[in-house]
């Protein structure tokens, strides 16, 4: 038996992919499956973005680019950051990454090692914990509670910092809950972080413009006092329906930029050039498709919340961002993962059990409303039938 290092045995994964595989297998057997499991927009990448990639390839843009990304793509990110946050960042702080996840990886391997502690949201995106475990650092969950609208509590987060804490991971708007941390709470957190100058911060802002009901996302970039230890993760996957293009960006403090550049040189060299041209078109081109997509998500969000609330034993907080609902199913007699599995096998509805996002996810399930209104209605009918049995 080949023996790999123990880190690989500690690594977890994202169960959404396993659910997708099972849902696809059942569909191939002829079952009518409605997929509310995977977190990717069901819209096509807007035409002008696709055209930009095709043009780039036809123009011969097929070679290596700088490991940090094309200057033009980084400058597009600078413009976009100014539009969304009002903050001017330097193109020399921007890294173009193959998706959002590699920034997570880079930040976590930079600070994670045995003896170190890393704070991460629970429930939260599962890769945070998985990568922390991989490095041998101790994962310290920051509870994200329904009672506080699935927002971070500054007080609770700060209370978990010890002299071993090296990195704090934040995510708002959040997966899997759709929660948004209000500006007042972020301000309190930043104020408290002044007492912990050695703690780096990874702010995952990939859903930054996916908000509803007039809610506004607060970027951590807006706090100059933490800029020298702040990494901001963002990307094209969700906003422009580009999950498979593997296009992300991140903004790094000066002290870390060369380290992440070197990691890119060692691991992936660069992001493919045509996608980087597509990324520029996404940022600089018309945003009508994004607006149309968000209007559709908003309509579906209301259908999902209303439909879930009509199911016996199910309560659902109104999600304020992203495209997920995270209903509370504690009043049904079901454990969350067992319910998710039974709904898939017996009713043909794919969704994810809350514990796949952390221990505090028990009692919840995640529905991604990246599916048509008709399918969402059908899925809700099936869930209601199943839970009324």
Binding residues for ligand PLP, rule: CB under 6 A, are 39, 99-101, 125, 171, 175, 204, 206, 235, 237, 243, 248
Contact 124, 171 (CB under 8 A): yes
Q: How far is the CB of 262 from ligand PLP (least distance, A)?
A: 21
Q: Please, what is the minimum distance in Å from the beta carbon of residue 250 to ligand PLP?
A: 11
Q: Which is nearer to ligand PLP, 120 or 125 (CB)?
A: 125
Shortest CB 341 distance to ligand PLP, Å? 21
- Give the up-direction half-sphere exposure of residue 290: CA atoms within 13 A in the CB hemisphere: 21
Whole-number minimum distance, CB 303 to ligand PLP, in Å? Answer: 22
The alpha carbons of the chain give a radius of gyration, in whole angstroms, of 21
Minimum CB separation of residue 14 from ligand PLP in Å reads: 8
**DSSP-assigned beta bridge partners for residue 250:** 95, 233
Task: State the angle between helix axes of 336-347 and 373-387 in degrees (0 to 180), rounded to the nearest 10.
Answer: 110
Q: How far is the CB of 30 from ligand PLP (least distance, A)?
A: 29
- Give me the sign of the Cα torsion angle 363, 171, 85, 250: negative
Cβ-based nearer residue to ligand PLP, 33 or 38: 38
Smallest Cα–Cα separation from 276: which of 53, 51, 75? 53
Q: How far is the CB of 120 from ligand PLP (least distance, A)?
A: 11
Q: Which is nearer to ligand PLP, 68 or 243 (CB)?
A: 243
- State the number of CA atoms in the 13 A half-sphere of 54 facing the CB: 7
CB of 251 to ligand PLP, least distance (A): 15
- CB-wise, 204 or 356, nearer to ligand PLP? 204
- Tell me whether residue 211 or residue 237 sits nearer to ligand PLP (CB atom): 237
Rounded least distance, CB 38 to ligand PLP, Å: 9
Looking at beta carbons only, is 126 or 348 nearer to ligand PLP? 126
Strands 34-35 and 349-350 come out as parallel
Nearer to ligand PLP, 235 or 348 (CB): 235
Phi, psi of 315 (to 5 degrees): -120, 150
* C-alpha span between 363 and 346 (Å, rounded): 20
- If the CB atoms of residues 69 and 348 are measured against ligand PLP, the closer one turns out to be 69
Number of H helices, E strands in the chain: 13, 12
The nearest distance, CB 206 to ligand PLP, in angstroms, is 4
Q: Which is nearer to ligand PLP, 135 or 275 (CB)?
A: 275
Spatial separation of the C-alpha atoms in residues 171 and 144, rounded to whole Å: 10
| DSSP E strand stretches across the chain | 34-35, 94-97, 117-122, 138-143, 165-171, 200-204, 230-235, 248-251, 324-325, 349-350, 352-353, 365-368
Beta bridge mates, 34: 349
Nearest residue relative to ligand PLP (C-beta): 100
The alpha carbon dihedral of 258, 138, 128, 246 has a sign of positive
Nearer to ligand PLP, 171 or 275 (CB): 171
**Nearest Cα residue to 365 out of 275, 291, 304, 300:** 304
Burial status of residue 2 (CB atoms within 10 A of its CB: 0-12, 13-18, 19 or more): exposed
């Amino acid at each position: 038996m080949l023996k790999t290092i123990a880190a690989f045995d500690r690594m977890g994964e994202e169960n959404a992919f396993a659910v997708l595989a099972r849902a696809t297998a059942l569909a191939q057997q002829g079952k009518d499956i409605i997929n509310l499991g995977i977190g990717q927009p069901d819209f096509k990448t807007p035409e002008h973005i696709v055209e930009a990639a095709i043009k780039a390839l036809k123009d011969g843009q097929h070679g290596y680019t700088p490991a940090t990304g094309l200057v033009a793509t980084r400058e597009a990110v600078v413009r976009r950051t100014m539009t969304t946050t009002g903050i001017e960042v330097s193109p020399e702080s921007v890294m173009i990454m193959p998706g959002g996840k590699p920034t997570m990886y880079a930040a976590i391997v930079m600070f994670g090692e045995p003896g170190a502690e890393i704070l991460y949201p629970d429930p939260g995106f599962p890769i945070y914990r998985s990568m922390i475990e991989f490095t041998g650092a101790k994962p310290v969950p920051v509870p994200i509670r329904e009672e506080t609208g699935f927002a971070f509590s500054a007080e609770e987060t700060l209370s978990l910092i010890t002299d071993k804490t090296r990195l704090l991971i934040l995510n708002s708007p959040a997966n899997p809950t759709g929660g948004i941390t209000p500006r007042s709470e972020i301000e309190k957190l930043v104020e408290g972080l002044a007492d912990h100058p050695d703690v780096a911060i990874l702010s995952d802002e990939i859903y930054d413009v996916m908000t509803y009901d007039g809610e506004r996302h607060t970027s951590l970039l807006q706090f100059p006092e933490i800029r020298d230890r702040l990494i901001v993760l963002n990307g094209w996957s969700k906003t422009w329906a580009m999950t498979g293009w593997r296009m992300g960006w991140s903004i790094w403090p000066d002290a870390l930029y060369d380290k992440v550049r070197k990691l890119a040189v060692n691991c992936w060299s660069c992001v493919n050039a045509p996608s980087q041209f597509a990324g520029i078109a996404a940022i600089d081109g018309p945003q009508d498709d994004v607006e149309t997509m968000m209007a559709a998500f908003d309509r579906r969000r209301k259908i999902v919340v209303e439909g879930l609330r009509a199911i016996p034993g199910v309560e659902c907080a109104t999600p304020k961002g992203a495209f997920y609902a995270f209903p509370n199913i504690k009043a049904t007699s079901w454990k969350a993962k067992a319910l998710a599995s039974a709904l898939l096998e017996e009713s043909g509805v794919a969704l994810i059990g809350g514990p796949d996002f952390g221990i505090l996810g028990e009692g919840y399930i995640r529905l991604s409303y990246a599916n048509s209104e008709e399918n969402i209605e059908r899925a809700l009918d099936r869930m209601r039938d199943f839970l009324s049995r």
